[in-house]
């Protein structure tokens, strides 16, 4: 078993051709070499900006290369509940932003010739309990009437056409959703940005950030100082650098995944005949899909804990049991990969983007992942050029989380609460 990301292990490493000498000056410094940072560097370079991207480790090494490779439209939380909380008009506007995110991924894959197996096979949201199906039905009726007529409800009797499991009580199909090889995607974005002239500095954590009297910014890295007119923070849950303001507003939560050995096509046709991305309605969510090389990827919270080698291994054992409960035929297959990653969660599970004291930021995707990171990375190039009206999150405040100063000491308590909710709801 490999205790590393399947996506990173099965994609060609990013080859950094950026010269070491960049003069220490540029128009924009991008902090973070994941999907947001790479998409932003690409968009900024296309506009003619001199861009330097600083990545603390290597391109795609953090959350961007450690997720499920799902590119889903729709919210992680229940649409009807969110509409009630923020209003239907706002919910629909944000819903369309997620649609635009999937469209943006598809466009960049095509324009930059990124070989990442992007395919729109749709998403299936599965009701873990009978009452959850009622919530899905309510959401689907609202979606069909107001913002997404391509959604479709699947009853428990019809579910066999979608899934070879008796565990669920129906589902909701989002036809616009897609899947891809996310390791090839994020590294492909970085290659495209580099080809347009962006300088990508790996192993270059930002250790200091100051604003000069002339309005320019000075960034300190182990590879020297860099001066720029603008700075974009695309660093998610990074614990490196002088970004305490961000850390008080984001909770890093572990997500864990396993990937099986390659499986026979006839078995996959029984278990997941439509090859849709799948996720369930639990608070301790499970998600699963078929990989491009005919494996089953199965992931979820497993434990409310941070990711580290021991935590990943414990979580992998839990995920194997959960996978066998969903698909008994997989109880004894070999597990080839087991890994974890950190999700940058906000208090209300919606992203944040904007500027603070002149420094731009986009992060807090809360499991919405590849599509929103791509959209916001691309949009930030325009927002930083004076088009703040394009920011779908511009009207959302972002208060600090009480008692949170960067280290998620409260995760075990949150996990216990969610386990109780899953048991009672």
In 324-388, the DSSP E strands lie at 335-345, 352-356, 359-363
Tell me the mean pLDDT in the region 340-363.
93
Note the pLDDT of residue 302: 63
User: What band does 93 get if pLDDT is binned at 50, 70 and 90?
Assistant: very high
Query: Could you give the count of Cα atoms lying within 13 Å of 76 in the half-sphere of its Cβ?
Result: 24
Note the pLDDT of residue 414: 65
Give the distance from CA 181 to its chain's centroid: 13
What CA–CA distance (Å, rounded) separates 289 from 292? 10
- C-alpha torsion sign, points 87, 176, 142, 368: negative
Q: Is the pLDDT of residue 422 over 90?
A: no
Look up residue 334 and give its DSSP letter.
P
Tokens 């499920």 belong to which residue? Answer: 68
196's tokens: 């347009």
The Cα-based distances of 240 to 1, 315, 341 in angstroms read: 30, 26, 16
**Which of these ranges, 38-42, 334-338, 351-355, 399-403, has the smallest mean pLDDT?**
399-403
Q: What is the pTM of this model?
A: 0.95
What CA–CA distance (Å, rounded) separates 232 from 424? 43
Q: Superfamily assignment of 6-415 in CATH?
A: FAD/NAD(P)-binding domain (3.50.50.60)
Tokens 């008796």 belong to which residue? Answer: 166
**Alpha-carbon torsion angle 236, 242, 247, 248, nearest 10:** -150
What CA–CA distance (Å, rounded) separates 286 from 302? 8
User: What band does 255 get if pLDDT is binned at 50, 70 and 90?
Assistant: confident
Tell me the mean pLDDT in the region 113-142.
97
3-state secondary structure (DSSP) of residue 219? strand
Tens digits of residue pLDDT in 276-296: 999 999 988 999 999 999 999
| Alpha-helix residue ranges (DSSP H) falling in 214-333 | 244-247, 265-271, 309-326
Tell me the mean pLDDT in the region 93-105.
97
Note the pLDDT of residue 412: 66
Tens digits of residue pLDDT in 185-231: 999 999 999 999 999 999 999 999 999 977 899 999 998 999 999 99
Domain regions of the chain by residue span:
6-415
Give the distance from CA 163 to its chain's centroid: 24
What CA–CA distance (Å, rounded) separates 31 from 29? 6
Tens digits of residue pLDDT in 360-410: 999 999 988 799 999 999 999 999 999 999 999 999 999 999 988 877 776
Of residues 238 and 138, which shows the higher confidence score? 138
Tens digits of residue pLDDT in 176-187: 999 999 999 999
Note the pLDDT of residue 65: 96
What average pLDDT does the structure give for the chain? Answer: 93
User: What band does 417 get if pLDDT is binned at 50, 70 and 90?
Assistant: low
3-state secondary structure (DSSP) of residue 71? strand
Tell me the mean pLDDT in the region 335-358.
93
Note the pLDDT of residue 198: 97
SS3 content of the chain, % helix, strand, coil (to 5): 35, 25, 40
Of 412, 265, 256, which is closest to residue 323 (Cα–Cα)? 256
Which DSSP string corresponds to 163-186? -S-SS-S-EEEETT-EE--HHHHH
Note the pLDDT of residue 421: 67
């Amino acid at each position: 078993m490999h205790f590393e990301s399947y996506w990173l292990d099965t994609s060609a490493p990013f080859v950094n051709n950026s010269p070491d000498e960049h003069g220490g000056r540029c128009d924009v410094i991008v902090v973070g070499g994941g999907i947001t940072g790479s998409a932003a560097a690409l968009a900024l370079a296309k506009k003619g900006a001199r861009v330097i991207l600083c990545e603390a480790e290597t391109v795609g090494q953090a959350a961007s290369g450690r997720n499920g490779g799902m590119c889903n439209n729709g919210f992680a939380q229940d649409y009807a509940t969110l509409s009630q909380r923020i209003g239907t008009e706002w919910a629909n506007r944000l819903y369309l932003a997620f649609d635009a995110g999937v469209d943006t991924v598809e466009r960049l894959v095509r324009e930059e010739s990124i070989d990442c197996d992007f395919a729109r096979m749709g998403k299936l949201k599965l009701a873990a309990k009978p009452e959850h199906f009622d919530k899905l039905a309510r959401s689907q009726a609202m979606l069909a009437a107001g913002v997404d007529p391509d959604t479709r409800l699947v009853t428990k009797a019809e579910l066999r056409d979608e899934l070879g499991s008796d565990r669920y009580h129906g589902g909701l199909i989002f036809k616009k959703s897609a899947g891809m090889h996310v390791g090839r995607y994020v590294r492909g974005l970085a290659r495209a940005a580099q080809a347009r002239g962006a300088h990508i500095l790996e192993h270059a954590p930002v250790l200091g950030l100051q604003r000069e009297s002339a309005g320019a910014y000075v960034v300190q890295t182990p590879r020297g100082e860099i001066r720029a007119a603008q700075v974009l923070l695309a660093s998610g849950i990074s614990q490196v650098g002088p970004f305490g303001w961000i850390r008080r507003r984001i909770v890093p939560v572990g997500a864990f995944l396993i990937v099986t050995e390659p499986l026979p096509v006839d078995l996959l046709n029984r278990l997941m005949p439509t090859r849709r991305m799948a996720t369930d309605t639990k608070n301790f969510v499970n998600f699963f899909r078929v990989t491009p090389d005919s494996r089953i990827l199965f992931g979820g919270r497993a434990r409310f804990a941070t990711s580290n080698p021991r935590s990943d291994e414990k979580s992998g054992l839990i995920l194997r049991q959960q996978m066998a409960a969903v698909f008994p035929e997989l109880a004894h297959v070999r597990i080839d990969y087991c890994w974890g990653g950190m999700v940058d969660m906000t208090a209300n599970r919606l992203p944040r983007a904007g500027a603070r004291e002149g420094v731009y930021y986009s992060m807090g995707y809360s499991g919405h992942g590849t599509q929103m990171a791509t959209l916001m990375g691309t949009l930030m190039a325009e927002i930083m050029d004076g088009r703040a009206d394009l920011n779908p999150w511009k009207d959302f405040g972002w208060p600090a989380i009480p008692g949170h100063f960067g280290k998620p000491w409260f995760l075990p308590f949150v996990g216990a609460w969610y386990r109780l909710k899953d048991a009672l709801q």
